[in-house]
């Protein structure tokens, strides 16, 4: 069994607060271009979230908290800051959780709000490291993992959720191979997950999304591990479009499914996944590939950014508080009450 080093400190910062401004690594142009953009207003940060400069549920929440702090520093209207940020993307509940936490300190001075945003950022890294250990504990030796989208240091404060479990599992010598689904239409798997794993020298093979069924049928995969954008009271999970199909395929082939998410991703106000708002993104993201048309001109497309996986298809939800085995209303409530 080989043991490798795992670190929460990636060689890049997806989100960085420097003096009085927010710096975001532009995830639209990775991995071939390393471009850092600077933000000084909540409205600009909201645009960055909508445009996918920064993405991934926890990272969206952290960026929104810093965006709110930026307007506090400039003496701008914080109710307006709240609304502009809340309207950036609808599905990841971490965004609304972070804004609520900032708004609860409304009477505080701007520097206290900056400190709170930093705290949200740091707490997310700590949560990922704890989740990584819990999640890795259920993996067998020589585990082969299939993952979807990007859930790594780019999508969080650092380390990652699903990718954090893969990192921790690899550090413990338990993970031998990772398959990364390319994740159309934004190709987070091909551009971001493959890049993060290769930087850490974790063996990764990129596959087309459509290749998952064949891999599972050949018995090549032990666990599907994915992140989440919102988990409802009954354990249903909204995550990147394509997650639901992976869970159905996994069930058919006896592959286990783990969802990794901090408790900030749970929304107990919603009874089930049917109530989760699913972001619909522009058709052009499907009919073209990074600005290059691929479908016939005028072709209609639909582009839901997320889908809902029913709790019954999920074996484990890993959080920083521990594991929820066979998630349902009772097991979710029990863990969150800890």
Does residue 168 bind ligand MRU (CB under 6 A)?
A: no
Provide the Cα torsion 128, 132, 134, 137; round to 10°. Answer: 180
H helix or E strand, kind and range, residue 135: helix 110-137
Figure out which of the listed residues 188, 234, 287, 319 binds ligand MRU, where binding follows CB under 6 A: 188
Figure out which of the listed residues 42, 55, 153, 194 binds ligand MRU, where binding follows CB under 6 A: 55
Residue 167 in marked binding region: no
Structure tokens at 288: 């073209």
Residue 57 in marked binding region: yes
H helix or E strand, kind and range, residue 197: helix 194-199
Strand-pairing partners, residue 15, are 24
Give the range of 6-14, 74-82, 197-205, 226-234 binding ligand MRU by CB under 6 A.
226-234
Does residue 56 bind ligand MRU (CB under 6 A)?
A: yes
Residue 240 in marked binding region: yes
Residue 56 in marked binding region: yes
Residue 89 in marked binding region: yes
In the bound state with ligand MRU, the residue whose beta carbon lies nearer, of 6 and 57, is: 57
Assess contact for 144 and 220: CB atoms under 8 A.
yes
In the bound state with ligand MRU, the residue whose beta carbon lies nearer, of 53 and 215, is: 53
C-alpha to C-alpha distances, 129 to 5, 42, 117, 168, 177, nearest whole angstrom? 13, 29, 19, 8, 20
Quote the CA–CA distance of 154 and 158 in Å, as a whole number: 7
State the minimum distance, in angstroms, from the CB of residue 213 to ligand MRU: 20
Which residue minimizes CB distance to ligand MRU? 227
Structure tokens at 116: 């709170």
Quote the CA–CA distance of 151 and 27 in Å, as a whole number: 13
Structure tokens at 83: 């609304």
* Catalytic site includes residue 229: yes
In the shown chain, the binding pattern of residues 275 to 314 toward ligand MRU, with x for contact by CB under 6 A and - for none, equals ------------------------------x---------
Listing DSSP states for 16-47 in one string gives EEETTEEEEE-TTSTTT---EEEE-SHHHHHH
Give the SS3 label for residue 142.
Answer: coil
Does residue 161 bind ligand MRU (CB under 6 A)?
A: yes
Does residue 151 bind ligand MRU (CB under 6 A)?
A: yes
Figure out which of the listed residues 71, 124, 200, 229 binds ligand MRU, where binding follows CB under 6 A: 229
State the minimum distance, in angstroms, from the CB of residue 180 to ligand MRU: 12
Assess contact for 327 and 311: CB atoms under 8 A.
yes
Assess contact for 248 and 313: CB atoms under 8 A.
yes
**Residue of 71, 124, 229, 236 marked active site:** 229
H helix count then E strand count, the chain: 12, 16
Does residue 57 bind ligand MRU (CB under 6 A)?
A: yes
Does residue 155 bind ligand MRU (CB under 6 A)?
A: yes
Strands 204-207 and 36-39 turn out to be unpaired
Assess contact for 147 and 169: CB atoms under 8 A.
no
Give the range of 75-83, 153-161, 245-253, 291-299 binding ligand MRU by CB under 6 A.
153-161
Q: How many residues bind ligand MRU (CB under 6 A)?
A: 17
Does residue 240 bind ligand MRU (CB under 6 A)?
A: yes
Interface positions with ligand MRU (CB under 6 A): 55-58, 92, 149, 151, 155-156, 161, 188, 227-229, 239-240, 305
Q: Which residues are annotated as a binding site for substrate?
A: 55-57, 89, 188, 239-240
Residues marked as catalytic: 229
């Amino acid at each position: 069994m080989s043991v490798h080093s795992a670190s929460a400190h990636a060689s890049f910062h997806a989100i960085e607060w420097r003096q009085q401004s927010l710096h975001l690594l532009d995830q639209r142009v990775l991995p071939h271009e390393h471009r850092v953009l600077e933000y000084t207003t909540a409205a600009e940060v909201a645009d960055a979230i909508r445009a996918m400069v920064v993405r991934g549920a926890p990272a969206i929440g952290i960026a929104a908290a810093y965006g709110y702090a930026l307007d506090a520093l400039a003496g701008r209207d914080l109710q307006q800051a709240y609304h502009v940020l809340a309207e950036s993307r609808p599905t990841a509940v971490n965004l609304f959780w972070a804004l609520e936490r900032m708004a609860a300190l409304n009477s505080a001075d701007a520097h206290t709000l900056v400190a709170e945003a930093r705290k949200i950022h740091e707490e997310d890294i700590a949560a990922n490291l704890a989740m990584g250990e819990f999640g890795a504990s259920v993996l067998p030796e020589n585990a082969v993992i299939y993952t979807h989208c990007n859930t790594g240091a780019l999508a969080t404060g650092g380390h990652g959720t699903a990718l954090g479990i893969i990192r921790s599992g690899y550090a413990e010598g338990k993970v031998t191979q990772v398959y990364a689904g390319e994740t159309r239409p934004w190709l987070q798997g091909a551009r971001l997950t493959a890049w993060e794993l290769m930087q850490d020298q974790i063996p990764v093979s990129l596959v087309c999304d459509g290749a998952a069924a064949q891999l599972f049928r050949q018995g090549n995969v032990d666990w599907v591990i994915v992140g989440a954008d919102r988990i409802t009271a009954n354990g249903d999970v909204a995550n990147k479009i394509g997650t639901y199909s992976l869970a159905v395929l996994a069930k058919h082939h006896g592959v286990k499914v783990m969802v990794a998410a901090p408790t900030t991703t749970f929304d107990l106000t919603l009874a089930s996944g049917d109530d989760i708002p699913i972001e619909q993104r522009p058709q052009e993201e499907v009919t073209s590939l990074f600005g290059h048309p691929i479908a016939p001109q005028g072709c209609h497309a639909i582009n839901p950014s997320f889908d809902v996986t029913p709790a019954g298809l999920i074996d484990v939800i890993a959080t920083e508080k521990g594991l929820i085995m066979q998630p349902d209303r009772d097991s979710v409530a029990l863990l969150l009450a800890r």
